[in-house]
């Protein structure tokens, strides 16, 4: 069978005239990332339900050129126009069966670690709030790192292809980790042991934890659902079927915790709506927003096993994939993946209030904010141009543009450091890391910790004294820098350490860390 697939593909590619077998083309070129059944793996599911915004020529273009700001390569050199057309048509055909995945199936997938024993105190002497979780995507593991000594306390296996940042309970004891194929893993950082796991979706985007730490929301591409779990025992509290006001089903691009609002904010990929799910419907300022929406008939109260969730729709002009929130979570800045502008949405009144010129595909989800000359500003990298945009978030104006050596992916800082750190993730200068003064906006140093290797994703320890940088390669490393002198302190070998997450910075919402 393998010989047949390879020979068929080679005959087509070399001669250009043999009849392409699209299933064979998919198996050879796509299945490793998108799953043999097309239901997703490290990449998203490739079925009609998830390709709604990639119709006709757009899908062929992605196959040929790849997709900006993702791991998706282009296949123009490997597949000619006829092969790409056959493959695109194949991807638009329904799969034989997409299994149902609701509360019954989610519950049946639950498994507990039979060897887990809850510790009464941490089993280590390190500061339990200054630990890092390092996600090593090279072999699907997470390392637990002491943020003072930088010693590895534990290294444990995760579900396949972790996606999105881990989420911690407010006391920092438990962490939840999600994989692209929908598995949610609960791990006890005091015991250094997995508690259990279940599959909350078939193809998922990210997770968010409620302010009180009792609820975990899972954003799903497949099926079109938003799943809410109890963090205590991983039981299903609610599965929202995600359908727009006009009856159109939608994937969920992402879900976020809005701590000052006691709610979740969900971005919908296929309909022009934002959803807010209240975990405390009486909390301010979310209550004011729900009153506005109730007057428009845009709120639905839904009973659950844990009390009352309320769903609120905010109708916007176009679907937004990527969000940044101001510190009060009163406003969000959103952007469409292929757009050239940012949209400011006032969450209390539930409407757009301003636009921002943001060409070059801003990556708002990695934006950070700080005080500059007494005013609160934010910065965001752009995925298609070498620039950072600096925005005054009091009057919503782009005030500055910082030119970099190429498009970047992540920004990081800390309230105790004068610098922000910006990678150059895309392009020939992917081995560069800019260190930028937060007041002058000047690049004070460009680090190249490993020439020719991709370096990305900075995270600080809880006091802002050290900055940890990833060498984003399979034979990679986490490099520890003195955040004041910018000198290297230590280098820890890791397997493609894609992200590092400090417990204190995450649970306190450090202003230099995206959330």
Cα-based distances in Å from 41 to 183, 219, 222, 409, 441:
11, 16, 12, 22, 40
pLDDT tens-place string over residues 443-477: 999 999 999 999 999 999 999 999 999 999 999 99
pLDDT at 218 over 70: yes
Strands (E), 361-448: 368-372, 375-381, 387-392, 397-403, 411-412, 419-423, 433-437, 443-447
How is the beta sheet containing 141-146 ordered, strand by strand? 152-157, 141-146, 131-136, 497-502
CB of 276 within 8 A of CB of 287?
Answer: no
- Determine whether 61 is exposed, middle or buried from the number of CB atoms within 10 Å of its CB (0-12, 13-18, 19+): middle
Average pLDDT, the chain: 88
pTM, whole model, 2 decimals? 0.84
Phi-psi region of 458 (alpha: psi -120 to 50; beta: other; left: phi over 0): beta
CA dist., res. 166 & res. 184, Å (int): 10
Confidence of residue 372 (pLDDT cuts 50, 70, 90): very high
3-state secondary structure 16-43: CCCCCCHHHHHHHHCHHHHCCCCCCCCC
Cβ 482 vs Cβ 466: under 8 Å = yes
Q: H helices within 74-191, ranges in order?
A: 81-91, 103-108
Q: Residue 454 burial (CB < 10 Å; 0-12/13-18/19+)?
A: buried
Helix H segments across 427-471? none
d(CA 30, CA 200): 24
pLDDT digits (tens, 9 = 90+) for 34-75: 878 887 766 777 877 667 656 556 788 888 888 655 667 888
DSSP-derived letter for residue 108 is H
How far, in Å, CA of 75 to CA of 65, rounded?
7
- Confidence category of residue 6, pLDDT binned at 50, 70, 90: very low
Q: What does the pLDDT look like over 414-443, one tens digit per residue?
A: 999 999 999 999 999 999 999 999 999 999
CA distance from start to end of the chain: 46
| pLDDT for the residue 72 | 78
DSSP string, 44-74: PP-SGGG-TT--THHHHHHHHH--TTSS---
For residue 104, pLDDT beyond 90 = yes
Q: Give percent helix, percent strand, percent coil of the chain, each to the nearest 5.
A: 15, 40, 45
CB atoms within 10 A of CB 23: 15
Q: What are the beta bridge partners of residue 255?
A: 266
What pLDDT, in 10s, does the model give residues 295-351?
555 655 554 433 457 888 999 999 988 889 999 999 999 987 666 788 999 999 999
Architecture of domain 2-91: Orthogonal Bundle (1.10)
pLDDT of 11 reads: 38
Distance CA 365, CA 352 (A): 18
Residue 341 CB contacts under 8 Å (≥ 6 apart), including other chains: 335, 355, 356, 357, 358, 359
């Amino acid at each position: 069978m393998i010989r047949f697939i390879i020979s068929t593909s080679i005959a087509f590619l070399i001669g250009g005239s043999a009849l392409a077998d699209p299933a064979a083309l998919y198996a050879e070129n796509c299945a490793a990332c998108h799953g043999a059944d097309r239901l997703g793996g490290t990449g998203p599911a490739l079925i009609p339900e998830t390709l709604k915004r990639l119709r006709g020529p757009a899908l062929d273009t992605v196959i040929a050129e790849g997709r900006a700001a993702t791991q998706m390569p282009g296949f123009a050199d490997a597949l000619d126009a006829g092969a790409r057309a056959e493959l695109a048509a194949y991807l638009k055909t329904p799969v034989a069966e997409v299994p149902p995945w609701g509360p019954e199936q989610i519950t049946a997938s639950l498994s507990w670690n039979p060897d887990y024993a809850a510790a009464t105190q941490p089993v280590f002497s390190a500061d339990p709030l200054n630990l890092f979780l390092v996600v090593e995507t090279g072999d699907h593991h997470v390392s637990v790192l002491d943020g003072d000594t930088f010693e590895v306390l534990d290294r444990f296996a995760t579900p396949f292809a972790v996606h999105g940042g881990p989420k911690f309970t407010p006391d920092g004891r438990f962490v939840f980790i999600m994989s692209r194929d929908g598995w949610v893993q609960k791990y006890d950082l005091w015991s250094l042991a997995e508690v259990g796991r279940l599959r909350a979706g078939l193809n998922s985007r990210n997770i968010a934890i409620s302010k009180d730490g009792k609820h975990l929301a899972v954003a799903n591409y497949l099926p079109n659902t938003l799943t809410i779990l109890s963090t205590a025992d991983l039981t299903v509290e609610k599965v929202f079927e995600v359908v727009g006001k006009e009856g159109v089903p939608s994937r969920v691009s992402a879900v976020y915790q809005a701590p000052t609002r006691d709610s979740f904010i969900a971005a919908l990929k296929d309909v022009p709506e934002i959803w807010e799910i209240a975990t405390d419907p009486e909390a301010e300022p979310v209550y004011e927003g729900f009153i506005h929406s109730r007057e428009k008939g845009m709120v639905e109260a839904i009973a659950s096993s844990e009390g009352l969730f309320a769903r609120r729709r905010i109708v916007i002009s176009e679907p937004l994939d990527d969000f940044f929130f101001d510190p009060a979570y009163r406003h969000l800045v959103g952007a469409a993946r292929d757009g050239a502008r940012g949209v400011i949405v006032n969450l209390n009144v539930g409407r757009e209030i301003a636009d921002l010129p943001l060409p070059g595909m801003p990556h708002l989800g990695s934006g950070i904010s700080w005080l500059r000359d007494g005013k609160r500003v934010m910065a965001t990298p752009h995925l298609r141009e070498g620039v950072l945009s600096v925005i005054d978030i009091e009057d919503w104006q782009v005030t500055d543009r910082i030119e970099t050596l190429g498009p970047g992916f992540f920004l990081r800082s800390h309230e105790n450091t004068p610098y922000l750190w910006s990678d150059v993730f895309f392009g020939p200068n992917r081995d560069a890391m800019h260190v930028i003064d937060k007041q002058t906006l000047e690049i004070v140093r460009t680090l190249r910790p490993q020439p020719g290797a991709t370096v990305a994703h900075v995270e600080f320890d809880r006091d802002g004294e050290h900055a940890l940088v990833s060498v984003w390669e399979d034979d990679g490393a986490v490099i520890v820098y003195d955040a004041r002198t910018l000198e290297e302190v230590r280098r820890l070998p890791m397997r493609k350490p894609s992200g590092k997450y400090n417990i204190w910075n995450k649970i306190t919402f450090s202003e230099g860390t995206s959330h």
